[in-house]
Amino acid sequence: MTLRRAMDRVLEVEIIGGDHHGEIALIPRISLTPPNSQGSFTFLLKRRQFPVRLAFTITINKAQGQSVKYVGIDLRIPVFTHGQLYVALSRATSAHRIRILLPDTSIEPLTKNIVFPEVLLD
């Protein structure tokens, strides 16, 4: 999702993937009350916030040399140059923390790894 407008009580976002790509959605603030807040305090603890989490993006080239905890790779358009897939996959500190988005039209979950053999030869 991409934030289009932030108002006091609602966020206007644009969905940037999946079946609802390009659609506008409204996310309201919700009230959160921790369990047993009445018993722990002499007052009711209540918080109103938007149910969203901040995320960042970076290109594969700019990510080279960095290590990050979680990696999401959008391969709906395959990588286009030698070594990009390796760089993208090797940024995460653990293979269990990598998520890959492939085209919905794929029969098998595959993508091309572009390798130029002449670069690897002496």
71 C-beta neighbours (distance < 10 Å), count: 20
What total of structural domains would you count in the chain?
2
43, 72: one domain: no
Residue 16 belongs to what domain range? 1-54
60 C-beta neighbours (distance < 10 Å), count: 18
Prediction pTM value: 0.56
60, 74: one domain: yes
* pLDDT over threshold 90, residue 26: yes
Once rounded to an integer, what is the mean pLDDT over residues 74-85?
83
For the chain, give the mean pLDDT.
84
2, 29: one domain: yes
Listed residue (70, 119, 73, 75) closest to 97, CA to CA: 70
Once rounded to an integer, what is the mean pLDDT over residues 95-118?
79
48, 60: one domain: no
40, 71: one domain: no
| Per-residue model confidence (pLDDT) at position 5 | 94
Helix runs in the chain, H state only: 37-40, 60-63, 84-89, 117-120
* pLDDT over threshold 90, residue 7: yes
Listed residue (68, 69, 79) closest to 102, CA to CA: 79
17, 68: one domain: no
Asked if residue 73 lies in contact with residue 89, where contact means CB atoms within 8 angstroms, the answer is yes
67, 90: one domain: yes
15, 45: one domain: yes
